[in-house]
């Protein structure tokens, strides 16, 4: 990255004796949209607060736009935050809320009004909303006002702290689309904290997956989805299957053996191997959509497992099957194309198969 707008290195944050961040390093490029993802307590919000200036890191360095941020209060940083609960001032009108940062910067009335108007247009809010109070707006409208307030002073970085977690699914989808469009139009760097990896994949240029105060993986959505660093990242994306295997180096790939499969040996090309593979708990990531019911003979090189149908769910476009396989702790999940004729009934003995060379080798 040529000149990152945010350069955090080795950020440590302790709350008393508890360590919330264990030396987190992250660079965010100018105009980039980065999502911080992880389960609750992973430290993503703490990192965001450190970026915003609400928390001082216990250790490490933070530069924003090339400036050391040590001791720089939130007010003086080129960052603006959209809060989880929006934190709109209930006693101020929409115009006063949006114009608040401008008022503090002593921007002239005429200019301020113009910029507030422009924000209103950008956010598709009607002009007669200006004199309303936040409580008189719907959830989605409040969301836009919060965004407008954060963007009106043209910050270098927009920080978003799970701003859409309280919205219903439909509204969330439309706002996500708008947020992405907004990002493209403005060219401002966005940092979004979310626990929803799907949302992160939809919106972000790069995703930083965190766990227990550590960064587990930073990468593009495709990286995260197709080349997860480990089982944690892969499992975080959604329901998937892990088949325990033993692996050993073989040429420029890996030789993989599964005791559960009759012809349980194959070679996996290096692009299907996690770069951070370790010896502990190696497994093949087999995506549900890559597994099929095997009726008749298996395809060449296909790995086949025997089991019986535990349950199935008709999801419309696809039908999900859960198949219990002897020797595996979790049921194997299959996502089959939706069909009016069900391929198997509950309790039925089935054979499932997949191409191991298309699977992804990773570890715990």
Partner 1 sequence: MRIERKSWNDPVFVATVAPLALVMVAFFLVPLLMTAVLTFQTTQYYRLVWTWDLKIWTEVFSKPHYWTIMMRTVAMALICVVLTVLIAFPAAYALATRLKTFKTQIQILIIFAFLTDAVLKTFGWILILDKNGVANWLLMHLGFPPEMLNLLFTPTGTMIGMVYNLVAYPMFTIYLSLVRIDRDLMLAAYDAGASRIRTFFEVTLPLSRPGLYSGAVLVFVLSLGAFLEPKVLGGGTSPLASELIRQSFETRVNWPLGAALTMVLITIGALMLAACAAFVLRRPSTGRRPA
288 touches partner 1 (CB under 8 A): no
Binding region for partner 1 (CB under 8 A) out of 100-108, 114-122, 232-240, 332-340: 100-108
Q: Which is nearer to partner 1, 101 or 356 (CB)?
A: 101
Q: Does 15 bind partner 1 (CB under 8 A)?
A: no
Residue number with CB closer to partner 1 (88 or 309): 88
The interface with partner 1 within residues 135-194 (CB under 8 A) comprises 135-136, 149-150, 153
**Other beta carbons less than 10 A from residue 193's beta carbon:** 27
b (16+ CB within 10 A) / e for 61-89: ebbbbeeebeeeeeeebbbbbbeeebebe
Give which of 257, 255, 217, 263 is closest to 236, Cα–Cα: 217
User: How many residues bind to partner 1 according to rule CB under 8 A?
Assistant: 30
**Helix H segments across 238-332?**
none
Interface characters, 49-78, with partner 1 (x: CB under 8 A): ---xxx------------------xxxx--
Name residues whose C-beta falls within 8 Å of residue 22's C-beta, 6 or more positions apart in sequence: 12, 212, 213, 214
Smallest distance from the beta carbon of 174 to partner 1, in angstroms?
24
249 binding partner 1? (CB under 8 A): no
Rounded to an integer, what distance in angstroms lies between the CA atom of residue 251 and that of residue 253?
A: 5
Q: How far is the CB of 182 from partner 1 (least distance, A)?
A: 19
Which strand (E) or helix (H) includes residue 319? strand 318-325
Instruction: Tell me if 87 contacts partner 1 by CB under 8 A.
Output: yes
Radius of gyration of the chain (CA): 25
Strand partners, 309: 323
| Residue choice 90, 108, 275, 300 for contact with partner 1 (CB under 8 A) | 90
For partner 1, the closer of residues 115 and 322 by Cβ is: 115
Both tokens of 201, joined, read 């994949």
Longest dimension (CA), the chain: 78
- For the CB of residue 276, give the shortest distance to partner 1 in the complex, in Å: 36
**What whole-number distance in Å separates Cα of residue 350 and Cα of residue 344?**
8
Q: How far is the CB of 81 from partner 1 (least distance, A)?
A: 5
Please say which residue, 86 or 305, places its beta carbon nearer to partner 1. Answer: 86
Strands (E), 246-302: 246-250, 253-257, 265-268, 283-286, 292-293
Site for partner 1 in 111-140 (CB under 8 A): 132-136
79 binds partner 1 (CB under 8 A): yes
Measured from the CB atom, the residue of 42 and 146 that comes closer to partner 1 is 146
Under the criterion CB under 8 A, does residue 85 sit at the interface with partner 1?
yes
Burial class of residue 242 in the structure, from the number of CB atoms within 10 Å of its CB (0-12 exposed, 13-18 middle, 19+ buried):
buried
Tokens of 325: 């396989």
Closer of 79 and 282 to partner 1 (Cβ): 79
Residue 40 or 326: the one with the smaller Cβ distance to partner 1 is: 40
Report the interface residues with partner 1, using CB under 8 A: 52-54, 73-76, 79-81, 83-85, 87-91, 100-101, 104-105, 132-136, 149-150, 153
């Amino acid at each position: 990255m040529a000149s990152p707008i945010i350069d955090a290195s080795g950020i440590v944050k302790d709350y008393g004796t508890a360590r919330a961040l264990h030396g987190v390093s992250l660079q965010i490029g100018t105009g980039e949209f980065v999502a911080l993802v992880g389960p609750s307590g992973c430290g993503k919000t703490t990192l965001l607060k450190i970026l915003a200036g609400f928390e001082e890191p216990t250790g490490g360095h933070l530069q924003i736009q090339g400036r050391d941020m040590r001791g720089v209060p939130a007010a003086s940083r080129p960052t603006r935050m959209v809060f989880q609960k929006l934190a709109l001032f209930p006693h101020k009108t929409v115009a006063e809320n949006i114009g608040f940062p401008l008022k503090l910067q002593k921007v002239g009335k005429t200019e301020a009004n113009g910029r507030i108007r422009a924000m209103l247009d950008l956010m598709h809010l009607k002009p007669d909303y200006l004199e309303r109070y936040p409580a008189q707006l719907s959830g989605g409208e409040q969301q836009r006002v919060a965004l407008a307030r954060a963007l009106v002073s043209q910050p270098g970085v927009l920080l978003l702290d799970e701003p859409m977690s309280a919205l219903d699914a439909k509204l969330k989808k439309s706002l996500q689309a708008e947020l992405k469009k907004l990002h493209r139009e403005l060219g401002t760097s966005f940092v979004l904290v979310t626990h929803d990896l799907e949302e992160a994949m939809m919106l972000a240029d790069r995703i930083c997956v965190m766990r227990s105060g550590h960064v587990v993986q930073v990468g593009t959505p495709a990286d995260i989805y197709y080349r997860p660093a480990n089982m944690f990242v892969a499992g975080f994306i959604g329901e998937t299957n892990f088949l325990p295997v033993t692996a050993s180096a073989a040429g420029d790939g890996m030789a993989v053996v599964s005791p559960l499969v009759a012809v349980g040996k194959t070679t996996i090309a290096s692009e299907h191997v996690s770069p951070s593979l370790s010896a502990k708990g190696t497994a093949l990531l087999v995506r549900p959509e890559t597994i099929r019911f095997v009726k008749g003979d298996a395809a060449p090189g296909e790995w086949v497992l025997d089991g019986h149908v535990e349950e199935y769910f008709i999801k419309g476009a696809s039908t999900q099957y859960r198949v219990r396989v002897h020797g595996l702790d979790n049921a194997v999940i299959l996502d089959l194309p939706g069909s009016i004729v069900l391929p198997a009934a509950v309790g039925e003995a089935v054979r499932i198969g997949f191409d191991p060379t298309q699977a992804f080798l990773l570890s715990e």
